[in-house]
Amino acid sequence: MRLFRPLILPLLASALLSVPVGAQAETGPSYVQPTPAVPPPIDHAFAGTIELDVDATDIRRRIFSVHQRIPVAAGAITLLYPRWEPASHGPSLTVTDLAGLTIEAEGRRLAWRRDPYEPHAFHLDVPPGTKAIDVRFQMVAGDALLTPDVVAVPWQRLTLYPAGWYARNIPVSARLTLPGGFRPFTALNVRDSEGPIVRFEPTSLEILLDAPVLAGRYTAQVPLTAPGPGAVSLDIVALRTGDLTVPEARIAEIKRLIVQMRAVFGATPFAQYHILARLSDDGSSGGTEHRTSSENGLASSHFRDWQAEILSRDLIAHEIVHAWNGFYRTPADLWAPTPNVPVAGSLLWVYEGQTEFWGRVLATRAGQFTPAELRDRLALEAAEIAARPGREWRPLSDDVNYPSFMLRQPVPWRDWQRRRDYYSEGVMLWLAVDAELRERSGGTRSIDDFAHSFFAGATPDAPSRTYTFADLCKALNQVAPGDWAGFLRSWLDGHAELDTTSGLVRHGWRLVFTDIPTAAFRANENEGGVVDLSYSIGLTARSDGTIRAVSWDSPSFEAGLRPGVRILAVNGTPYGRDVLLAAVRDAANHPVVLTVEQDGEQRETPIRYVGTLRYPRLDRIPGRPDTLAALLTAR
C-alpha cells in the first residue's frame, strides 16, 4: 500500500475531529457473535440418492474431476466439503484442494456463497421446481493419489453433501473412472464395471467415506481366510510385478494374525475385510484405518526384507485392530455424525494406545516378531516415554489434544513440547493395565479377558457402540474389581512422578542402558536418517552433521545447542557418524568438544558429559515371573 501523506493527513485530522464523543470512541467496538448459518446434522431420512461420478484418469496433471447430482428441494441449502477425518481425529482436510466449483439447476448456473466463518460450507438458493442440482469441481491435490501406476481414491476429498443430515442417512451411488488397465481394490460392493468405469452398489455416505479405492497397474490379491463371512484378503498394489510375490512365511504369519485377533476380539465387525497394501520405493508411510479395510503404506521391499522392517511389521495388525477398537467400539467424544462437526480425543490413549499395544502383542503371537525382537521394540519406546520431561507440564490427558491443534505442525523440542505420545505411552499404560488385572485376579485374568467382554457382540451390521471413561472403568472392574478410575487417572494426569516403566517391571522386565544398540534401535536410527545419542550427550544428528533433535535438559541442551545447528567437527576431527560415536564412547576419559556452526558463526562447544554410549534394552528382573512371555504366547 502506498500512502500520499499530504492528502491523507489533513483528511485523517478532520475525521478525528468529527468523531462524536460516545462509548465507541472511548472503548472500541462491541463484538457481535455471528449467527451460525450451517444447519446442524439431524438424524432423519434423506429423500433421494446422490449420484457421485469421479474421474481419476488425469494422472499427468494429477487432478480429479468430480460431477455430482444431488437431490434437493427449493429454498436455501448448504453443501459441505468434509473437514474432519476419523483417522486423524482432527480437521486434517482442507477445502483449498477444491477448485472450479460450479452448481447448475437444469443447465442454469446457480450462484453460491462460501460461508465466511466455515469455509468448507457453500450456501445457495435453489429455485422453485428444482428436483436436483449438478455440482462440478476439481480436487487438485492429487500428487500422492494419481500416479502412473497407482491411483488412490479418498472419497472424503471428492464429495460435497447437503448439511442437515447424518452421513448414515444420505444414500450415495458412486461411479469411478480409472486409467486404462488399472485394477481396483475396495471394501465397497461393485455393481458392475465396464472397461475403466466401475459402478458401486448404492450405499450410505458414511460407508462410502470410510471405504477408499486403491487401484493400480501391478496388483495381486491374496486370500487370508476361507471365503465367506469375515473373510480377509491382502490386496497389493505395487510399482512392478516383481514386488507382488509375498514369501509363504509372511503370508502364513498374516493368516495366523487373523486367527489370533479372532481369539481376542471374537466375532468380526465386518463381512469382508481388505488389507489395502500400497508398496512404494519411498518406504513405509504409515496406515489409515477403516471399518472394513485399511490403507497400509509399505516399502516395496516390506515382505522381502523382513529384518529391516522391524518398525513396520505390526502396521497391518494395528490397522485391523481398529476395526474393533475404534470403529466397533468408539470413544463417545470421537464419534461424529458427519465429517464436519468437531470431535475430541480424551480417549485416544484407548483408541490409539490400546490399538498400538494389541498390534505389538498380536503380531508377536502370530510370529511376526520373536519375543526378543518385540522386547527390543518395547525398550525403544519405554526409553522414549520415560525420557519425557514435558510430562512435567503436559500430562498424557493433555497430549491427547494433539489432533485439535498440532496436526502437521513442526515441533522442535519434541520431548518437552510432547507430540502424539499417546501411542507409545499407551503401550506402556496397557502393559500396566494387564499387569494390574493379573495381580488383582491372583493371576487368573488378563487383558484378554477384558478384550473378550469389551469388544463382544460385533457383527457386520452392528452400529458403532460408543463408550466413556466410566464405561471403560466398569468393564475393567468386571474383569478384576478395583479402583480403576484412580489407577487410570494416575497415568493420565501424572506428571514427573509417574513411572511409565512400571508395567514392564511388573511383567518381570526392567529398562536398562548398555553401550550396544539393539537392531530395533538401529532401525529407528535408519528410519530417521540420524545417529541417535539421546540417552548420552542428548542429541540426534543427520549424516551432514545437522542436529535434528536436542533432548531437553541434556548435556547438549546445557551447551546451548538446538535443532538445526550444524556440527562441523568433533574433538578437532571433521564430523562423521563414527567420529562422533567414538568421541562419546570415550567421553569418560576425554571431554567431547563439538565445533558447530550456529547463528552464522563457528564456535567450540564443550559438552559436559562423563560417560559412554547408552542404548536402551530390557533386562530380566531375577525372581519375578515373566508374565510378558505369557502375554506374548499365541492363543
Q: Which residues bind Zn ion (CB under 5 A)?
A: 352, 355
Determine the 3-state secondary structure of 417 from DSSP: helix
The DSSP bridge partners found for residue 99 are 138
What is the spatial distance between Cα 250 and Cα 236, in angstroms, rounded to a whole number? Answer: 14
Closest distance to Zn ion from the beta carbon of 415 (Å): 22
Q: How many residues are given for the chain?
A: 635
Closest distance to Zn ion from the beta carbon of 572 (Å): 47
What single-letter DSSP state applies at residue 28?
-
What is the spatial distance between Cα 29 and Cα 37, in angstroms, rounded to a whole number? Answer: 23
Determine the 3-state secondary structure of 243 from DSSP: helix
Is the Cβ of residue 352 or residue 381 nearer to Zn ion in the bound state?
352
Closest distance to Zn ion from the beta carbon of 423 (Å): 8
Is the Cβ of residue 352 or residue 436 nearer to Zn ion in the bound state?
352
Closest distance to Zn ion from the beta carbon of 573 (Å): 44
Closest distance to Zn ion from the beta carbon of 288 (Å): 8
Is the Cβ of residue 210 or residue 532 nearer to Zn ion in the bound state?
210
Closest distance to Zn ion from the beta carbon of 558 (Å): 36
Pairing of strands 465-467, 329-331: parallel
Closest distance to Zn ion from the beta carbon of 351 (Å): 7
Grid coordinates belonging to 342: 468437531
One-letter amino acid of 471: D
The C-alpha cell 498400538 sits at: 356
Determine the 3-state secondary structure of 450 from DSSP: helix
What is the spatial distance between Cα 340 and Cα 331, in angstroms, rounded to a whole number? Answer: 18
Neighbour-count burial of 4, counting CB atoms closer than 10 A to its CB (0-12 exposed, 13-18 middle, 19+ buried):
exposed
Is the Cβ of residue 352 or residue 415 nearer to Zn ion in the bound state?
352
Q: Residue 87 CA to chain centroid, in angstroms? A: 6
HEC string of 294-334?
EEEEEECCCCCCHHHHCCCCCHHHHHHHHHHECCCEEEHHH
HEC string of 170-202?
CEEEEEEECCCCCEEEECCCEEEEECCEEEECC
Is the Cβ of residue 304 or residue 420 nearer to Zn ion in the bound state?
420
Closest distance to Zn ion from the beta carbon of 345 (Å): 12
Is the Cβ of residue 101 or residue 407 nearer to Zn ion in the bound state?
407
HEC string of 260-279?
HHHHHHCCCCCCEEEEEEEE
Is the Cβ of residue 284 or residue 355 nearer to Zn ion in the bound state?
355
Is the Cβ of residue 274 or residue 438 nearer to Zn ion in the bound state?
274
Is the Cβ of residue 299 or residue 320 nearer to Zn ion in the bound state?
320
- Do 293 and 186 form a contact (C-beta atoms < 8 A)? yes
Closest distance to Zn ion from the beta carbon of 339 (Å): 18
Minimal CA–CA distance to 46: which of 140, 173, 158? 173
Closest distance to Zn ion from the beta carbon of 265 (Å): 15
Is the Cβ of residue 243 or residue 399 nearer to Zn ion in the bound state?
399
Rounded (10°) angle between helices 447-454 and 469-479: 120
